[in-house]
Amino acid sequence: MISELNLLLAKLENRHSKVIDLSLDRLIKIKQKLNIIPKFKIISVAGTNGKGSVCFYLNHLLMKVKNINVGLYTSPHFFSFNERIMINDQKCNDEEILTAINFILANDPESCLTFFEITTLAAILIFNKKNIDIAVLEIGLGGRLDAVNAFEPDMSIITSIGLDHTDYLGPTLNHIAYEKSGVMRENKICVCGEELHNEMIIDQAKIKKSILYIYNNHFSFESLFPDNLNFDLSIIQKKNLSCAVYALEKFGFSEIRQLVHRQDFFDKLFFGRFQTISKNPEIIIDVAHNEDSIKNLVNTLSTLDLKKTFLVFSILKDKNFKEYAGFFKTLKNQIEWFVAPLNSPRTESIDQLTKILNQNKLRFTSFLSIRDAYIQAINNAQKNDRIVVFGSFYVISEIFKDDYGGK
């Protein structure tokens, strides 16, 4: 049975004429009308890739500080919308979210707000009601005109700059960096994880008079953890962790670094970020879905032991799979693709997926659903083989909803 919350959310998705309509004017108008002013400190996190991981690191670290109530707002979700709004690591319940959303809708008679604008306002209302101390807010898309950016951050983080959502953010890395630089504020700290394409960010920091700290310039994993702790983390996750730790130290939490030394720090940290969920066969799940994240996935796989590998994959049609498919030719493993369309109007068609795989002379099998593809990969894999599930949040959600959806 579909819950009242899910019914309302389904209506909200079709409420505005556009799914994505970047502007702050609508939200600011309602925000001022309702006098929605955060009563807590805000850390805003933007970036092409890594922002979800950094948000979870921030949340996990702050949760270990005594007498701190932490709000976490992220998107998208895997299994239930409630995952997007969390307080002290607990999902907000349906009633809390319904109350907040209905209050906003009652004050938006012209139906001008988008889905994300409504849910962002709802998160702020809930956090105010729950008297949190700090909120970690993940930017949805871009930065400058994102709904989250209507609320003044006390600190910002820009994780990375890559080509994604170019229809909305611009065709070049400079365009995208400019949009993401919109989260910076005058006399406020911005921690930047982008090492290569940061010229625009540096320029914007000067213009905005923001205090900028850049990874591998002002800080690094090695400088934060000189004891060479044996963390089982990829290069990307070491950077994400470093950005979170350094940001919180600059925010005034001097004891934060010591918390990472605790054995339990990485237990159940976050889901779907190059996560190994089985060893025999080895099963890795990852939400890599754009150029840089898929390149990082390939690079990480290239460092692992050679194994026969089944790639369980689908992707949204606004992504450039034609380019991404070729990245996997560099791997020396025996690889077989198991592909299928997603249960979403935004999915890439199975015809296009198989056409691209054929053009790249890659071995594949197609299926009616991504869940079917995964089950067949499990059936085909031997104990010493590897299964990698990736391509989208939707991929992980559709495959594992029955296994993890209620947890």
Q: What is the pLDDT of residues 227-267, one digit of tens each?
A: 766 777 888 889 999 999 999 999 999 989 888 876 567 76
Instruction: Name the architecture of domain 275-404.
Output: Alpha-Beta Complex (3.90)
Could you tell me which of 368, 375, 366, 377 has the C-alpha nearest to residue 399?
375
- Determine the Cα–Cα distance for residues 34 and 30; give it in Å rounded to an integer: 6
Whether the CB-CB separation of 121 and 19 falls below 8 Å is answered with no
Over 90: is that where the pLDDT of 306 sits? yes
Could you tell me which of 74, 110, 82 has the C-alpha nearest to residue 98?
82
- For the domain covering 4-259, report its CATH number: 3.40.1190.10
- Determine the Cα–Cα distance for residues 73 and 87; give it in Å rounded to an integer: 9
Over 60: is that where the pLDDT of 406 sits? no
| Burial grade of 270 (CB within 10 A; 0-12, 13-18, 19 or more) | middle
| Residues carrying CATH 3.40.1190.10, the chain | 4-259
Q: What is the pLDDT of residues 147-177, one digit of tens each?
A: 999 999 999 999 999 888 888 889 999 999 9
Q: Within 10 A of 95 (CB to CB), how many other CB atoms are there?
A: 10
> What pLDDT, on a 0 to 100 scale, did the predictor assign at position 268?
62
Over 80: is that where the pLDDT of 16 sits? no
> What pLDDT, on a 0 to 100 scale, did the predictor assign at position 321?
94
Paired sense of beta strands 41-46 and 155-158, if any: parallel
- Determine the Cα–Cα distance for residues 40 and 25; give it in Å rounded to an integer: 23
> What pLDDT, on a 0 to 100 scale, did the predictor assign at position 228?
63
Take residue 50 and report the two structure tokens written for it.
Answer: 């890594």
- Determine the Cα–Cα distance for residues 390 and 299; give it in Å rounded to an integer: 14
Query: First and final CA of the chain: distance in angstroms?
Result: 18
> What pLDDT, on a 0 to 100 scale, did the predictor assign at position 206?
97
pLDDT classification of 76: cutoffs 50, 70, 90: very high
Could you tell me which of 264, 41, 253, 64 has the C-alpha nearest to residue 156?
41
Residue in the structure block whose two tokens are 């890795």: 284
| Burial grade of 237 (CB within 10 A; 0-12, 13-18, 19 or more) | buried
Could you tell me which of 68, 66, 56 has the C-alpha nearest to residue 266?
56
Whether the CB-CB separation of 79 and 173 falls below 8 Å is answered with no
Take residue 60 and report the two structure tokens written for it.
Answer: 């996990």
Whether the CB-CB separation of 390 and 373 falls below 8 Å is answered with no
Q: What is the 3-state secondary structure (H, E, C) of the chain?
A: CCCHHHHHHHHHHCCCCCCCCCCCHHHHHHHHHHCCCCCCEEEEEECCCCHHHHHHHHHHHHHCCCCCCEEEECCCCCCCHHHHEEECCEECCHHHHHHHHHHHHHCCCCCCCCHHHHHHHHHHHHHHHCCCCEEEEECCCCCCCCHHHHCCCCEEEECCCCCCCHHHHCCCHHHHHHHHHHHCCCCCEEEECCCCCCHHHHHHHHHHCCEEEEECCCECHHHHCCCCCCCCCCHHHHHHHHHHHHHHHHHCCCCHHHHCCCCCCCCCCCCCCCEEEEECCEEEECCCCCHHHHHHHHHHHHCCCCCCEEEEECCECCCCHHHHHHHHHHCCCCEEEEECCCCCCCECCHHHHHHHHHHCCCCEEECCCHHHHHHHHHHHCCCCCEEEEECCHHHHHHHHHHHHCCC
> What pLDDT, on a 0 to 100 scale, did the predictor assign at position 232?
75
Residue in the structure block whose two tokens are 């950016």: 149
Average pLDDT for residues 96-113, to the nearest whole number? 92
> What pLDDT, on a 0 to 100 scale, did the predictor assign at position 396?
95
Take residue 355 and report the two structure tokens written for it.
Answer: 């056409």
In the chain, % of residues over pLDDT 70: 96
Whether the CB-CB separation of 350 and 341 falls below 8 Å is answered with yes
What is the value of pTM for the model shown? 0.91
- Radius of gyration of the chain from Cα atoms? 21
